[in-house]
Structure 1
Amino acid sequence: MSNAAIVDKRPSALRGASMPKWSPWAIAAGSVAVAIGISLVAGFDSKIQWGLLSGLIFLIATYGIAARVEGRRQAKDRIATGLVWVAFLVALIPLLSLVWTTVSRGVKVLDIYFLTHSMGIVADAQPGGGVYHAIIGSLEQVGLATIIAAPIGILTAVYLVEYGGRGRLARAVTFFVDVMTGVPSIVAGLFILSLMLIFEMEPFGFAGSLALAILMMPVVVRSTEEMLKLVPNELREASLALGVPKWRTILKVVLPTSIGGITTGVMLAIARIAGETAPVLLLVFGNRFINNNPFEGAQQSLPLYIYQQYSQSAGENTAYDRAWAASLTLIAFVMILNLVARGIARWKAPKSGR
């Protein structure tokens, strides 16, 4: 056996003592127990206070134990890791609470009948009725908004990245995109409503789609712009060096390379507008019956259905339950969109060659 192998097997003098892998879990369990004890003695009734006190004790105990066993330098690293985990749990708990509340209250009336029937002649105080007309309205309105906003947003991003450069027009477009990103949804609804009043038009589904498209466009532009910037310039230069025109390089090289990220951005933009209520309330107006034509007559949507049922549920459990069931349906719709976006992104992700 060589001398190098013998040296490698010797314990390193530079390696100090280290805490076992299970120590963070033990410290967390002890912190929770101590926090509960302090809360009971101090009279804290809120579980939120218990959680915050547990996190604070966990950070203090982690630093103290790590500093004693591993040294202050390693203790600082562990305290930073602990802060990340505490922040993650603080962000995760409200999300889990929201999902649990929606599921527990929404499953009371959520069934096949609820998904395949409209309110029709069912009064809000009566049991029965469903959300089918709202699902149809949301799908049509969001679908039309996507057909309008996605091509415009993608082409705008292509111009900004591939053609605009640092020109005045590109800077102006970027500025207005940033402004549109912060425009409240009610302002987009009022803009379309003012046009409807000028032309003396009645509420209809496509008007809501126009407002949703305004809200969706800046999200598509920003996400597509970032995806196009990630495409290596070497791919563009190689295509141009072969004599391929720039428009064809964009169409055959740049867009296919970033199609996964672009699709993900569009899906996330759809999820962003799927829960908008204010523009739909102003422009679509709501309808208790099924209306499959978004270009004529008032139409329903899931966010508007939730708002109307909840606002009319004073003392009526039936309308209250329908509002929560529709909320669960909307969450499921957005969740499916996010899963589809992740699947497409993974499917279209560039494969590293061997």
Structure 2
Amino acid sequence: MSHASSDAKPTPRVPAPDKLSSRRLPRWSPLAIAVGAVAIGAAIGAGAGLSSHIQWGLIALALFVLGSYAITARVEGTRQAKDRVATSLIWSSFVVAVIPLYSLVQTTISKGVKVLDGTFLTHSMNNVLTIQPGGGVYHAIIGTLEQVGIATVIAAPIGILTAVYLVEYGRGTLAKWVTFFVDVMTGVPSIVAGLFILSLWFVLVGSAPASGFAGSLALAILMLPVVVRSTEEMLKLVPNELREASLALGVPKWRTITKVVIPTAIGGITTGVMLAISRIAGESAPIALLVFGSNLINTNPFSGPQSSLPYYIYQQYGNGNDPSYNRAWAAALVLIAFVMILNAVARGIARWKAPKTGR
């Protein structure tokens, strides 16, 4: 027994894991690194005489990414450091994207509230001198609502039906050509759409257009590809099992589309239409070419010049005086509020029309 025990080889010792690599940074470490990066970035910017705070922020972002990698590599290892750097880059990109948006909204609000009141919203620029304060944006609000509304009535049904054809029926050459032209129309500048309607109007009528309806036709051209693409993507997200189940019960395909497919995707379709409306709500080039703008209230979109919010902003800012600048900023704030209301309505409709699932 003693001989057997003496011949037994000792079990090799497993080296203890590196204590440093098993450590983890605390949860608050990213915040601490960010605060340190901001402090050092501000110190470097002030010491170097950089007057722009944006430059300070870019320095702080670079220090944040480098600091995250260095500290994480020291404590957790290189692999975790690379993961932390990727996360830091994502957050940095988010901050870089949000800062201009915040600056835009903050600047518009601070300058737009100077003249934004009930009088501004309920009066036009009739008999108001551009170099004097006063006047309002009521006529431009009416023009925007009518022009965008007519464009939506034209483009939304055509776009939705086109998307239904491409997803549910389109398999041949025609579908390929339709897809090609939709892609081409997506990149058409707004001024080109205005020139197209202007040329077509001269051919059909023989005189220059001066109506909100002409502008609505150009806006509908710009809106159509956005509606087609967004609706197409939403229809593709509908599970094929729903279509197959409906067809297996003997339901015709057209009824399956109207009763199963479209109701399932109605939330996304509505959101896409609202995004398309937001896309055309800020266009001024077609209005300048086709509607000409006006300082008077014109509630008839089929006759006479008519203004809109984007054209009103362009017109007022071009006057080159402080009262006009204030009116332009106030109109820009009204336009932003209009787009935000559209998005809120889209979310409400999408939630209301979303398919209900049982518990």
- Normalised to the residue count of structure 1, the TM-score between the two structures is 0.93
- Deviation by residue 1:39-94 (Cα, 9 ceiling, x = unmatched): 22222221111001000000111111111111111111111110001000001100
Q: Does 1:321 align with 2:312?
A: no
Q: Could you tell me which of 101, 104, 116 is aligned with 2:107? A: 101
**Are the equivalent residues in 1 in contact too, given 2:212–2:303 (CA < 8 A)?**
yes
Mark the runs of 5 or more structure 1 residues left unpaired by the alignment. Answer: 1-12
Aligned to 2:271: 264
1:200 Cα offset (Å):
2.5
Q: Could you tell me which of 101, 116, 123 is aligned with 1:117? A: 123
**Are the equivalent residues in 1 in contact too, given 2:263–2:355 (CA < 8 A)?**
no
Q: Could you tell me which of 90, 96, 111 is aligned with 2:96? A: 90
Pairwise mapping of residues 166-177 of structure 1 onto structure 2 (< 5 A)?
Answer: 167-177=172-182
* Aligned-pair Cα RMSD in Å: 1.3
Q: Distance in 1 between matches of 2:282 and 2:166?
A: 29
Q: Distance in 1 between matches of 2:174 and 2:324?
A: 51
1:244 Cα offset (Å):
0.9
1:340 Cα offset (Å):
1.7
Q: Distance in 1 between matches of 2:22 and 2:350?
A: 44
- Deviation by residue 1:99-146 (Cα, 9 ceiling, x = unmatched): 011000000000011000111111111211100000000000000000
Q: Name which of structure 1's ranges 147-156 and 120-129 shifts more when overlaid on structure 2.
A: 120-129
**Local SS of the residue matching 1:290:** coil
Q: Does 1:247 align with 2:215?
A: no
Aligned to 2:12: none
Aligned to 1:298: 305
Q: Name which of structure 1's ranges 280-289 and 34-43 shifts more when overlaid on structure 2.
A: 34-43
Aligned to 2:339: 334
Q: Does 1:48 align with 2:54?
A: yes
Pairwise mapping of residues 12-91 of structure 1 onto structure 2 (< 5 A)?
Answer: 16-91=22-97
Aligned to 1:4: none
Q: Distance in 1 between matches of 2:84 and 2:161?
A: 47
Q: Distance in 1 between matches of 2:228 and 2:220?
A: 12
Q: Distance in 2 between matches of 1:84 and 1:350?
A: 34
Q: Distance in 1 between matches of 2:309 and 2:237?
A: 36
Q: Does 1:145 align with 2:127?
A: no
**Are the equivalent residues in 1 in contact too, given 2:263–2:354 (CA < 8 A)?**
no
Q: Does 1:238 align with 2:250?
A: no
Q: Does 1:194 align with 2:199?
A: yes
Q: How many residues align?
A: 338
Q: Distance in 2 between matches of 1:138 and 1:178?
A: 27
Q: Name which of structure 1's ranges 287-296 and 39-48 shifts more when overlaid on structure 2.
A: 39-48
Aligned to 1:10: none
1:353 Cα offset (Å):
3.9
Q: Distance in 2 between matches of 1:260 and 1:102?
A: 31
**Local SS of the residue matching 1:335:** helix
Percent identity of equivalent pairs: 72
Q: Distance in 2 between matches of 1:343 and 1:85?
A: 29
Aligned to 1:288: 295
Q: Could you tell me which of 121, 126, 136 is aligned with 1:130? A: 136
**Local SS of the residue matching 1:288:** coil
Aligned to 1:216: 223
Aligned to 2:189: 184
Q: Distance in 1 between matches of 2:46 and 2:157?
A: 59
What letter corresponds to residue 337 of structure 1 in structure 2?
L
**Local SS of the residue matching 1:255:** helix
Q: Distance in 2 between matches of 1:115 and 1:58?
A: 46
1:345 Cα offset (Å):
2.5
1:38 Cα offset (Å):
1.4
1:351 Cα offset (Å):
4.3
Aligned to 1:156: 162
Q: Distance in 2 between matches of 1:52 and 1:352?
A: 47
Q: Distance in 2 between matches of 1:154 and 1:210?
A: 17
What letter corresponds to residue 65 of structure 1 in structure 2?
I
- Normalised to the residue count of structure 2, the TM-score between the two structures is 0.92
Aligned to 2:13: none
What letter corresponds to residue 86 of structure 1 in structure 2?
S
1:36 Cα offset (Å):
1.3
1:352 Cα offset (Å):
4.5
